[in-house]
Amino acid sequence: MHHTEKRIKRIFKLAGEDVGAIMIFNGDEPHTDVNFYYVTDLTKGLFERSGVVIYPDGKGVIITSELEAESASRSPMEKRFFRTRQDLRRMVREALDVDGKVGVNYTDLPHSLYRDMKSAAKGIPFTDVSKALSDARMIKDEVEIERIRKAGKIATDALEVMKNELHEGMLESEAAALLIYEMMKRGATGPAFETIASFGENSAEPHYTAGSRKLKKGDYALFDFGARFERYNSDITRTFVMGKADKKHREIYEIVREAQQAGIDAIRPGVKGPDVDAAARKVIEKAGYGDRFIHSLGHGLGLKVHDGGGFSPRLEMDVKENMVITVEPGIYLPGWGGVRIEDDVLVKKNGAEVLTSFPKELIEL
């Protein structure tokens, strides 16, 4: 059985017996639905205003423009190509000739496209299957794991190069550009998200993006970035010190490193997500910086950078084998700087495997 058929059957198992088909459609960029790529396993092509209708037996039909014929040929699914909007509506109606409700991903379907699809369905009732789709993607198969692993290696190799190129006077934007260049040089299709390169006081802002700040001695240099490989993402953060680290640099860094390891050590199938978060958070709280760890410990990773699930005090999630989740504690001191250490972690039968293997000891540049 092809891995896409297994994925589709898992989705329907989660969606419920009254769902006879599931329709997944993309709008125009950037309003695409990663579930389209999940069930088709298409890694090339744009597929705007294209979609797929899938069925409980694991089969499906791709409905797309003739512009995408070559890209769509890589999928084992049946394919139908349209030229006009009328062709599209007819093909959708034919594909939805099933018993039961039609599942739709309300979370990612633009309203204008929803109206078109609803009209084409001619009275067939729709039901929201967004949770079933998200839950299915949380458990990764071997194809997905290997792509995330490759994306992680691309990112860590790029960071190794950049670490040796960092110098006083370097702009944040220059460092970010170098990371992106080195990732694409190694086979990435692009960065997973807007690269964070923050120096000095800017490292205290968790979602800061690269600006014109120059690197100086005594600065933290924080990099949060990832590679996209065959539509799957990595996400890694490392924090260096430019020049000689002082006592405070080392203190904050070691607290964060200890917290991250505590979080990783707590991961295994059957534990609760909030408990993993708490294992890391307790280390930071004990050190007196609990109010400066201002986000959750980690998020799911896959076709989306922030995929389903995660380690958070507010997200009741059962940790399961073959989830891929980030572990990224941080301490942020406004006006001075911050430290974050992040890795991508695969849940295994007896613990966790770190997929982003870059050194974690404090590096002085």
Structural domains in the chain plus CATH codes: 3-137 (3.40.350.10), 142-354 (3.90.230.10)
232 DSSP β-pair partners: 229
Q: Count Cβ atoms within 10 A of the Cβ of residue 171 and give its class: 0-12 exposed, 13-18 middle, 19 or more buried.
A: middle
Structure token digits, residue 218: 């005594």
CA distances to 105, 112, 338, 341 from 358, in Å: 37, 45, 19, 10
Helix (H) or strand (E) holding 354: strand 351-354
Mean pLDDT of the chain, nearest integer? 96
Q: pLDDT by residue (tens digit) across 25-74? A: 998 888 899 999 999 999 999 999 999 999 999 999 999 999 999 999 99
- Give the mean pLDDT of 266-293: 98
Distance, in Å, from the CA atom of 175 to the CA atom of 162, rounded to the nearest integer, reads 7
What letter represents residue 23's amino acid?
M
Query: What 3-state DSSP class applies to 8?
Result: helix
Q: pLDDT by residue (tens digit) across 125-182? A: 999 999 999 999 999 999 999 999 999 999 999 999 999 999 999 999 999 999 999 9
Query: Token pair 């997905």 is at which residue?
Result: 144
Which of 257, 240, 165 shows the shortest CA–CA distance to 200?
Answer: 240
Quote the pLDDT of residue 306: 95
Quote the pLDDT of residue 44: 93
Quote the pLDDT of residue 16: 87
Q: Any alpha helices (H) in the chain, and if so which ranges?
A: 3-15, 34-40, 69-72, 85-95, 111-121, 130-138, 142-165, 172-185, 247-265, 273-286
Is the pLDDT at 324 greater than 80, yes or no? yes
Contact by Cβ (8 Å): 152, 234? yes
Sheet with 236-241: strands ordered across: 196-199, 220-225, 236-241
Q: What is the pTM of this model?
A: 0.96
Q: Is the dihedral of CA 290, 292, 297, 299 positive or negative?
A: positive
85 DSSP β-pair partners: none
Q: pLDDT by residue (tens digit) across 208-238? A: 988 999 999 999 999 999 999 999 999 999 9
Q: pLDDT by residue (tens digit) across 282-309? A: 999 999 999 999 999 999 999 999 999 9
Quote the pLDDT of residue 243: 96
Quote the pLDDT of residue 46: 92
Chain centroid to CA 188: 15
Distance, in Å, from the CA atom of 253 to the CA atom of 256, rounded to the nearest integer, reads 5
Please, which residues have CB within 8 angstroms of residue 242's CB and are 6 or more apart in sequence? 166, 168, 199, 215, 216, 217, 218, 219, 220, 221, 364, 365
Contact by Cβ (8 Å): 256, 284? yes
Structure token digits, residue 220: 């933290």
